[in-house]
A and B are shown apart, each in its own frame.
Chain A
């Protein structure tokens, strides 16, 4: 399969505008500006079936169409480059190695929704990525792809990079906007949705890096072309960030619907040291864990949902037989406790409590009633929080208790891990 997003990812200097143009870049932008109206572009993206690649999978064209056409308020386009979901490192690759692909997508998207101001919100830790982006943006201004009257179309756009301060919650779109506004990054209540009330209360569209990077290709080749790749309801390609106990961890761009087996064994080189596969987290730590029997599940939004998990960001974490699932759940619970923004009671207090219980279980001080207690705490959090992070925080706990209950019970009864960690665990 010919790659779309990663076609030139390994070309040195691809981040420089001249190389990007030589490799076919910035052909979509003039086409969009000169041959299409904003509405036509929205229709094109709708037709392509492109769904958000940040984790939620919301249809991008539909989101763009929510921006009220007759509002006199200024619109904003925000690119979510926070890439906070543990296990995900695809956006980083796109930003560092092919930033202009992203920029071209941002400019086209801004034109489509009538935004004259756009921001890339990039996680603070990506200092190098931010530098690459700022350099690319400067090149765009010089060449007239940004600024006033882009390519003589009459369309103005200013684009800035805004670096985050190190909070997972800033990947949540309303917290992201709060952060851009200089406020504490607490999520806002939805409704209203950003398309009507967003940045500084103005209509705003927030899209993931990978989502926007697809836009130039859709404009060049048409919505139908994109819709014919992948699966009917999950179109196009997906970059899977494969990590864990595999021989060849890394980013793999593959058509939606590729099986987990193919991803791990054909592309990822199979399990390291020829060990047995035990569990896979398919789409980042907020997604339910899958056991080895589900290897033939297709990696797309619908199929994974039917299998009891989620595609999420496509961060596939592979665990072999030497993995203690209790330790995995404990480690993830520490992450969510650390990242809870603290605004709402269930997540703030609940994630700390969960971590404390997991800590006891992991360290041999678990009690029999802890499992039911954990499930109860999770039930009191899920669905009752301001933002989806509460739901995300309980998934690792509930799914590991469901699928690996025996390991928990072993920990509680015997006060140690069920699996033999060997010398691998330090």
Chain B
């Protein structure tokens, strides 16, 4: 595996030496190892490129960025030449202009006149640079090179993957596609064949481009050589509007752009946030927007009449819900009502959802965790308590000396974090995987442990035992007191290699080498995924991992921690905003009178102090008839809960079930009343990603048909029940959240900016 470098300098070693040079008569000072291109950027001087990409190793192949450097005879490529003290660079001399014109002419001589039918028109680098620096006359009168796919066809399109179509005639051989796939995605689907003017980018026979990041090559291609099936021929880019948003499909929170026209999404591209996605998207997110404009979207409220859900208007629906909830509350008490929020609704929506229940209905019976029977205790931010979140940051991943991934298929659950982990491995950092099944990431790992489902605790205890018994730990670094050490030793004593082998299936050598790796590492980052979050022994596992951190002396260090990666786009946010039976926004304990004071002041109400039922208990209570009405917004427990039938039976027992969603889900089918909500593209709001980063999404178009934004619906309900939820925008709701929530207190709608803000967490010391 090649290490990244520019001009032989290992750019990973951030240098403190500064260099001053002159570009076009202007002085600029930059770090040693910076390229001329980057230094010019700092001065606002644009140097044209084709084959340059910030995240790929520079190759100097297109020759478009040639500039004059005094004392160097030939023109030099700005993208790959490091600056030196006193260097004099000129980017706009006759020689430079001639070189640029020459390169563009060379690219055009074989380029087909496809602009009228080429997707890339309007955003094509070749078009743009020819307009800026090229000639408007062609001198070529020979026969253009042609990469024919089917001799009988006049179209030269080759499908190279489920989404990707290649037209080799348009290719300028910058090779960014191949370089992306090799250097970033860690795959080998696309390759370069033949040489010289016959060079071709292609796939191996019968092996299409099928990696989960393939869509990036369409975005990264500067011309229309690679196009995507989903966007092809649909619309011209200058006819669309672009809106900033956040991908709603997983907890990574990639920053995206929605390209829309007339209330329809045509494509999604990256809105590069170097702190999160570094400009790349996974195919799931990039191509997964069809649900927004799907014909099955709920278009108006539905009320059950004579057993059938029939369309109704909003006034009817809101009136009905308000009166039903009021009646049931009066008859059976506030605690006979329950609410289920969602890890897919925005922070603003989750916030006023829980506010609705606490202020309007007067109960703490709310939750959003519908996909597990084993819930973690609610997070707490008190010292030495678990926050059950990703305590490190995404950008810290590539610096960790050892990453241990437990119970997580990163490629499936967090594709963009998967890229960061590969990046870390390429830099020479260690990577060890432990999961119930093998994953493709193992190509970058030193070891992969496959254990029997559910046996993580035994595995971890076995490793701790090995470290203790073999005295692998450094006595001076251990962060455990003598008594704590004794307790730990006793706890793990029974887990010798035989027992570990029997229970987990992992061979003793693997336990040994894992123990050694952990003990020797300079820093350790634990990443835990799907298997851990909903595990019956999830708290014990997190505790064990923390014990390992303290045993190896890494607890409290920067970049070291136990990270639980939540799956959905706003799982973290739903927790943060208090859609929990025992927590208010910002993890304020609902029974802690003193801490509740602030929020009670803002809400001007006394909040019920008894913790409510969590989702499992809600189901039980519904079965027993103790819960009579439920309002479910954005969640589908009928499909997501491990025992679907149990959920459905519970819901069927309710006197009144109102479900708010964008499709008629399994849960919605059981409702007495269905309210049509809006997708992420139809509302402003924020999502909080796995690393606690609150990021803004903007509305691209109004809610479709007669649906409404979820936050608006909740406000309407509150108004109908006599409470003044007169928010005019999600931004306003966010300001209130920031006011009451201790973790959002430093944020406001403005300072979230384009890259979002993380809420801070104190390290467990």
The residues of B that contact A167 with a CB separation of less than 8 Å are 195
Instruction: Contact check, B109 vs A353: say whether CB atoms are below 8 A apart.
Output: yes
Q: A247 at the A/B interface (Cβ < 8 Å)?
A: no
Q: Would you list 22 pairs from A and B whose C-beta atoms are within 8 A, ordered by A residue?
A: A167-B195, A192-B7, A201-B5, A340-B195, A341-B195, A341-B196, A342-B195, A342-B197, A345-B63, A345-B64, A346-B103, A348-B173, A349-B106, A350-B106, A353-B109, A353-B142, A379-B102, A380-B99, A383-B74, A384-B75, A384-B99, A386-B60
Partner of A345, one of B74, B107, B143, B145: B107
18 further A-B contacts with Cβ under 8 Å, apart from A338-B196, A380-B99, are A192-B8, A201-B5, A339-B196, A342-B173, A343-B61, A345-B106, A348-B197, A349-B109, A352-B196, A353-B140, A353-B142, A380-B103, A380-B106, A383-B73, A384-B66, A384-B75, A384-B99, A384-B103
Question: Smallest distance from the beta carbon of B683 to chain A beta carbons, Å?
Answer: 47
Q: B629 at the A/B interface (Cβ < 8 Å)?
A: no
Instruction: Contact check, B199 vs A342: say whether CB atoms are below 8 A apart.
Output: yes
Question: Smallest distance from the beta carbon of B102 to chain A beta carbons, Å?
Answer: 3
Q: B59 at the A/B interface (Cβ < 8 Å)?
A: yes
Instruction: Contact check, A191 vs B8: say whether CB atoms are below 8 A apart.
Output: yes
Q: A259 at the A/B interface (Cβ < 8 Å)?
A: no
The residues of A that contact B60 with a CB separation of less than 8 Å are 189, 344, 386
Closest 6 CB pairs of A and B: A192-B8, A380-B102, A349-B106, A342-B199, A356-B142, A340-B196
Instruction: Contact check, B8 vs A346: say whether CB atoms are below 8 A apart.
Output: no
Instruction: Contact check, B197 vs A344: say whether CB atoms are below 8 A apart.
Output: no
| Most chain B beta-carbon neighbours within 10 Å: one of A381, A384, A386 | A384
Question: Smallest distance from the beta carbon of A189 to chain B beta carbons, Å?
Answer: 5
Q: B62 at the A/B interface (Cβ < 8 Å)?
A: yes
How many Å lie between the Cα of A252 and that of B145 in the bound state? 43
Q: A197 at the A/B interface (Cβ < 8 Å)?
A: yes
Task: Bits for A183-212, please: 1 = Cβ < 8 Å to B, else 0.
Answer: 010000101100011000100000000000
The residues of A that contact B195 with a CB separation of less than 8 Å are 167, 169, 340-342
Instruction: Contact check, B80 vs A189: say whether CB atoms are below 8 A apart.
Output: yes
How many Å lie between the Cα of A348 and that of B194 in the bound state? 12
Instruction: Contact check, A345 vs B196: say whether CB atoms are below 8 A apart.
Output: no
Task: Bits for A315-349, please: 1 = Cβ < 8 Å to B, else 0.
Answer: 00000000000000000000001111111111011
The residues of A that contact B58 with a CB separation of less than 8 Å are 189
Instruction: Contact check, A383 vs B75: say whether CB atoms are below 8 A apart.
Output: yes
Instruction: Contact check, A345 vs B197: say whether CB atoms are below 8 A apart.
Output: no
Partner of A189, one of B77, B99, B142: B77
Q: B98 at the A/B interface (Cβ < 8 Å)?
A: yes
Partner of B142, one of A338, A357, A385, A386: A357
Task: Bits for B53-94, please: 1 = Cβ < 8 Å to A, else 0.
Answer: 000001111111010000001110100100000000000000
Residues of chain B at the chain A interface (Cβ within 8 Å): 2-3, 5, 7-8, 58-64, 66, 73-75, 77, 80, 98-99, 101-103, 105-107, 109-110, 139-140, 142-143, 145, 172-173, 192, 194-199
Nearest-CB residue, chain A, relative to B143: A356
Instruction: Contact check, A197 vs B8: say whether CB atoms are below 8 A apart.
Output: yes
Question: Smallest distance from the beta carbon of B57 to chain A beta carbons, Å?
Answer: 10
The residues of A that contact B145 with a CB separation of less than 8 Å are 352
The residues of B that contact A386 with a CB separation of less than 8 Å are 60-61, 63
Q: A307 at the A/B interface (Cβ < 8 Å)?
A: no
How many Å lie between the Cα of A381 and that of B75 in the bound state? 12
Question: Smallest distance from the beta carbon of A382 to chain B beta carbons, Å?
Answer: 9
Given contacts A345-B107, A353-B140, contact A189 B197 (CB under 8 A): no
Instruction: Contact check, A380 vs B197: say whether CB atoms are below 8 A apart.
Output: no
Partner of A346, one of B77, B80, B102, B199: B102
The residues of A that contact B172 with a CB separation of less than 8 Å are 345
How many Å lie between the Cα of A42 and that of B195 in the bound state? 38
Question: Smallest distance from the beta carbon of B127 to chain A beta carbons, Å?
Answer: 17
Q: A101 at the A/B interface (Cβ < 8 Å)?
A: no
How many Å lie between the Cα of A189 and that of B60 in the bound state? 7
Partner of A349, one of B7, B73, B143, B197: B197
| Most chain B beta-carbon neighbours within 10 Å: one of A197, A338, A348, A349 | A349
The residues of A that contact B74 with a CB separation of less than 8 Å are 383-384
Given contacts A356-B143, A380-B99, A384-B66, contact A337 B196 (CB under 8 A): yes
The residues of A that contact B106 with a CB separation of less than 8 Å are 345-346, 348-350, 353, 380
Binding site secondary structure of chain B: loop
Instruction: Contact check, B139 vs A348: say whether CB atoms are below 8 A apart.
Output: no
Size of the A side of the interface (Cβ < 8 Å), in residues, is: 36
Given contacts A184-B192, A343-B61, A383-B74, contact A348 B102 (CB under 8 A): no
Given contacts A352-B145, A373-B139, A384-B66, contact A342 B196 (CB under 8 A): yes
Residues of chain A at the chain B interface (Cβ within 8 Å): 167, 169, 184, 189, 191-192, 196-197, 201, 337-346, 348-353, 356-357, 360, 373, 379-381, 383-386
Nearest-CB residue, chain A, relative to B110: A349
The residues of A that contact B197 with a CB separation of less than 8 Å are 337, 340, 342, 348-349, 351-352
| Most chain A beta-carbon neighbours within 10 Å: one of B8, B58, B63, B196 | B196
How many Å lie between the Cα of A167 and that of B105 in the bound state? 27
The residues of B that contact A169 with a CB separation of less than 8 Å are 195
The residues of A that contact B139 with a CB separation of less than 8 Å are 373
Instruction: Contact check, A345 vs B110: say whether CB atoms are below 8 A apart.
Output: no
How many Å lie between the Cα of A346 and that of B61 in the bound state? 9
The residues of A that contact B109 with a CB separation of less than 8 Å are 349, 353
Nearest-CB residue, chain B, relative to A184: B192
Question: Smallest distance from the beta carbon of A262 to chain B beta carbons, Å?
Answer: 34
The residues of B that contact A381 with a CB separation of less than 8 Å are 102
The residues of B that contact A196 with a CB separation of less than 8 Å are 8
How many Å lie between the Cα of A219 and that of B28 in the bound state? 51
Nearest-CB residue, chain A, relative to B60: A189
Instruction: Contact check, B142 vs A345: say whether CB atoms are below 8 A apart.
Output: no
Nearest-CB residue, chain A, relative to B104: A345
How many Å lie between the Cα of A413 and that of B140 in the bound state? 21
Question: Smallest distance from the beta carbon of A49 to chain B beta carbons, Å?
Answer: 24
The residues of A that contact B194 with a CB separation of less than 8 Å are 342
How many Å lie between the Cα of A385 and that of B197 in the bound state? 15
Nearest-CB residue, chain A, relative to B95: A383
How many Å lie between the Cα of A167 and that of B8 in the bound state? 26
| Most chain B beta-carbon neighbours within 10 Å: one of A184, A351, A379 | A184
How many Å lie between the Cα of A167 and that of B145 in the bound state? 22
Question: Smallest distance from the beta carbon of A176 to chain B beta carbons, Å?
Answer: 15
Instruction: Contact check, B63 vs A344: say whether CB atoms are below 8 A apart.
Output: yes
How many Å lie between the Cα of A201 and that of B170 in the bound state? 34
Nearest-CB residue, chain B, relative to A185: B195
Nearest-CB residue, chain A, relative to B145: A352
Instruction: Contact check, A380 vs B98: say whether CB atoms are below 8 A apart.
Output: yes
Given contacts A380-B99, A384-B75, contact A346 B63 (CB under 8 A): yes
The residues of A that contact B103 with a CB separation of less than 8 Å are 345-346, 380, 384
Question: Smallest distance from the beta carbon of B176 to chain A beta carbons, Å?
Answer: 13
How many Å lie between the Cα of A381 and that of B66 in the bound state? 12
How many Å lie between the Cα of A385 and that of B101 in the bound state? 14
Question: Smallest distance from the beta carbon of B682 to chain A beta carbons, Å?
Answer: 45
Question: Smallest distance from the beta carbon of B68 to chain A beta carbons, Å?
Answer: 11
Question: Smallest distance from the beta carbon of A322 to chain B beta carbons, Å?
Answer: 29
The residues of A that contact B80 with a CB separation of less than 8 Å are 189
The residues of A that contact B66 with a CB separation of less than 8 Å are 384
How many Å lie between the Cα of A373 and that of B102 in the bound state? 12
The residues of B that contact A353 with a CB separation of less than 8 Å are 106, 109, 140, 142
Instruction: Contact check, A348 vs B142: say whether CB atoms are below 8 A apart.
Output: no
Question: Smallest distance from the beta carbon of A337 to chain B beta carbons, Å?
Answer: 6
| Most chain B beta-carbon neighbours within 10 Å: one of A196, A373, A380 | A380
How many Å lie between the Cα of A10 and that of B685 in the bound state? 86
How many Å lie between the Cα of A351 and that of B106 in the bound state? 10
Instruction: Contact check, A189 vs B63: say whether CB atoms are below 8 A apart.
Output: no
How many Å lie between the Cα of A197 and that of B8 in the bound state? 7
Question: Smallest distance from the beta carbon of B104 to chain A beta carbons, Å?
Answer: 9
Partner of B61, one of A339, A344, A357: A344
How many Å lie between the Cα of A71 and that of B356 in the bound state? 68
How many Å lie between the Cα of A350 and that of B196 in the bound state? 10
Question: Smallest distance from the beta carbon of A362 to chain B beta carbons, Å?
Answer: 14
Nearest-CB residue, chain B, relative to A380: B102
